[in-house]
Structure 1
Amino acid sequence: MRLLTWTLSAVAALALAVSPAAASPVFTLDPLNGALAGPPGQVLGWGLTIQNDNSGWLVVDSVTYNQSQSIGDFVDFVSPQFLTSWVVPNGVWDEAFDPSISAGLGSYVIADFASPGDQAIGDLVLTYDIHSIEPGSQGDDTVNEYSVSLLAPSLPATVTDTLTPEPAAIATTLIGLALLGLGKARRRA
């Protein structure tokens, strides 16, 4: 069985402030260490917690996984839900990964062609806006756009092959055991 091991170095709390006096939002991936594991074909993904320490409304626009070599497909769960939910000023938004309802940050499916030792090196980037008033309400809204890298600049994802015997190796082993048993039986006779 091939196993994908995502080594995601650090979940960053890297965000730009709305103004010099404003606090920066804190973004935390779920799982905390960002590591995902599973065989090719399995849907893997991340949840996300956002702590909005700003006086404005935080709206997540999109997320991208930019990778130098693809070993699967990333799907952004955020863009299709744009402006359906936001984080209120000084509020917290927490969404676990659930592929059945497209909840969380996004998913990654390892392709069947992925081989042991293959790597996808990339960066998970989240774009968001800070609104001065509640999104969708009447009034003059000042919107500031930002993007934040949730991962370190190079994040290796390695597909690892575990020790699973090949069917031909099993057949050869059985034939060898049968011949050993036959040789032992001849010696007794």
Structure 2
Amino acid sequence: MGADTCPTSILNYSQPDLTHIGPALTLQTTDGFVQVTAQVRSATSFSDHDTTQPCHSNLCKTCWITDTEAIITRENTIHQVHGTYSCNSANVVYLIRCRKGCPKAWYIGETVQMLRQRMNEHRSTITRQDCSLPIGEHFSGHGHSASNRRVSILQGGLDDTRQCRVAGQRLIAKFRTHEDGLNQDPGFKSHDL
């Protein structure tokens, strides 16, 4: 993969209308999947290493659900990951999606813990079949399990809980995961502090 080409993202959704993005985006449709290839000029801050990577610890249960996409797309929304993160990264905003392609199974959360610690908590919710929480309800539902999750860090390098919450709120709004996803509320409001 060249330095000027972002990784390809395969989405199991109806065709998004991304034509307004400009000539840097190429769309191909096969068998109901949309393949989005984005060309990024080297003048941007993007590099081939901007992504979430597994930490490769033998004890880590998050490595095998880590999604290494650097470009996250949903309908008409595109988000580019800036920075290199792993299961050990803390002070991050993360995205959980369903590997089975359920279009509304998008959840954005934030944590000051290491990502793998937070994913262990989500896995516990699913194992307990705690349907009072949307992650538990979706991933313990018929035909699903904790192994159907995939996780990406959308933003990192945040300094504290407040920055994580504000960034989380912005990304919940950007991807509309409150209206059309698993987030139960629109997220943290800065005036609530």
TM-score by length of 2: 0.27
Q: Which structure is higher in helix share?
A: 2
Which of the pair is proportionally richer in strand? Answer: 1
With normalisation by structure 1, the TM-score equals: 0.27
